């Protein structure tokens, strides 16, 4: 141990850059109970309001979550043969994905009114608007992110996500923040931060301690962590499918 710190000291003296990797931590800021748990597929902050999209055939909806009352204020419901997935807001409108139907909905930001329905290629899982590059990143449950045109959702490029030379499969709900993509990994309690230049996972947060607070006793495999919405800085809202709560956390 002494030799390690001696080496760091010598590097500092020589003027060379030194990086010390700190443990990735989840700081709980607040808990917001939800009156009726829903099958959360997408979560997004729009001008201090929290929009939520749900899934399942015949039950897919989109609306606002009132964090003070815990009410889900439904604004629209998808046709019974559409399975709602992730969503993201650009500067002009909101996109909502479907799972295997290859349909996406363009909606107004103020009341979530449907403006247009378009076709895209592939399965839809998560989506996130990269405001710096003016593109939308999407996931399909694999280790690949697809870069898409924000107006048409036409695929422009792909990025393979890896950690320690291993592909990270089952990327699900996405959020763009701090010039990176934050992603749920399906059927885990983990959120990963992805470098958009090379696809490398930069940080991993394990939210198992929060999930275990729920004391879930059933064996429903769909009851998993899913839903990330950026507030500011390192603060996020996070939740899960059929979870009775939304947490406000700081991911550092």
CA distance 201 to 214: 28
Which residues 6+ apart lie within 8 Å of 112 measured at CB?
51, 62, 63, 64, 75, 76, 94
- pLDDT at residue 31 is higher than 80: yes
Domain presence at residue 18: no
- Write down the number of H helices and E strands in the chain: 2, 22
- 18 has a pLDDT exceeding 80: no
Residue 20 lies in a domain: no
Q: What whole-number distance in Å separates Cα of residue 99 and Cα of residue 143?
A: 17
Distance, in Å, from the CA atom of 251 to the CA atom of 241, rounded to the nearest integer, reads 20
Residue appearing with tokens 């885990």: 188
How large is the average pLDDT for residues 47-52? Answer: 96
Query: In this predicted structure, what is the pLDDT of residue 20?
Result: 27
Can you read off the two tokens belonging to residue 17?
A: 């850059």
Residue at 15 is within a domain: no
Name the pLDDT band for 90 (thresholds 50, 70, 90): very high
User: Is 7 inside any structural domain?
Assistant: no
Question: CATH number for the domain including 169?
Answer: 2.120.10.30
In a domain, 16, yes or no: no
Confidence bin at 217 (pLDDT 50/70/90): confident
pLDDT digit string, tens, across residues 108-151: 999 999 999 999 988 999 999 999 999 999 999 999 999 999 99
Range of the domain at 187: 25-251
Mean pLDDT confidence for 181-198: 97
Distance in angstroms (rounded) separating the CA atoms of residues 201 and 140: 17
User: Confidence class of residue 89 from pLDDT cuts 50, 70 and 90?
Assistant: very high
Residue 24, pLDDT score: 86
CB 211 within 8 A of CB 242: no
1, part of any domain: no
Q: In degrees, to the nearest 5, what angle opens at C-alpha 77 toward C-alphas 181 and 104?
A: 45
What's the burial of 105, exposed, middle or buried (CB within 10 Å: 0-12/13-18/19+)? buried
Tell me whether residue 51 is in a domain: yes
* DSSP label at residue 152: T
Is 206 within the bounds of a domain? yes
Cα–Cα dist 138/136, whole Å: 6
The answer to pTM > 0.85 is yes
CA 117 to chain centre: 22
How many structural domains comprise the chain?
Answer: 1
* pLDDT value at 4 more than 80: no
């Amino acid at each position: 141990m002494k030799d390690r710190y001696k080496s760091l000291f010598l590097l500092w003296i020589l003027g060379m850059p030194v990086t010390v990797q700190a443990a990735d931590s989840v700081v709980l800021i607040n808990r917001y109970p939800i009156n009726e748990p829903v099958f959360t597929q997408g979560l997004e902050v729009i001008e201090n309001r929290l929009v939520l999209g749900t899934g399942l055939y015949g039950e897919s909806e989109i609306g606002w979550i009132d964090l003070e009352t815990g009410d889900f204020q439904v604004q629209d419901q998808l046709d019974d043969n559409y399975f709602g997935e992730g969503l993201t807001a650009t500067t002009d409108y909101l996109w909502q994905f479907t799972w295997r139907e290859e349909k996406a909905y363009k909606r107004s930001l103020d009341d979530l009114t449907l403006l247009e329905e378009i076709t895209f290629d592939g399965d839809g899982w998560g989506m996130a608007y990269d405001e710096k590059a003016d593109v939308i990143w999407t996931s399909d449950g694999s280790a690949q992110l697809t870069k898409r045109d924000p107006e048409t959702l036409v695929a422009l490029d792909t990025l393979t996500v890896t950690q320690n030379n291993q592909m990270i499969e089952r990327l699900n709900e996405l959020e763009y923040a701090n010039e990176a993509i934050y992603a749920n990994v399906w059927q885990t309690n983990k959120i990963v931060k992805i470098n958009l230049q090379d696809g490398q996972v930069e940080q991993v947060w394990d939210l198992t301690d929060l999930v275990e607070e729920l004391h879930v006793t059933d064996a429903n495999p769909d009851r998993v962590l899913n839903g990330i919405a950026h507030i500011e800085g390192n603060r996020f809202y996070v939740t899960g499918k059929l979870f009775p709560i939304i947490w406000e956390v700081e991911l550092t």
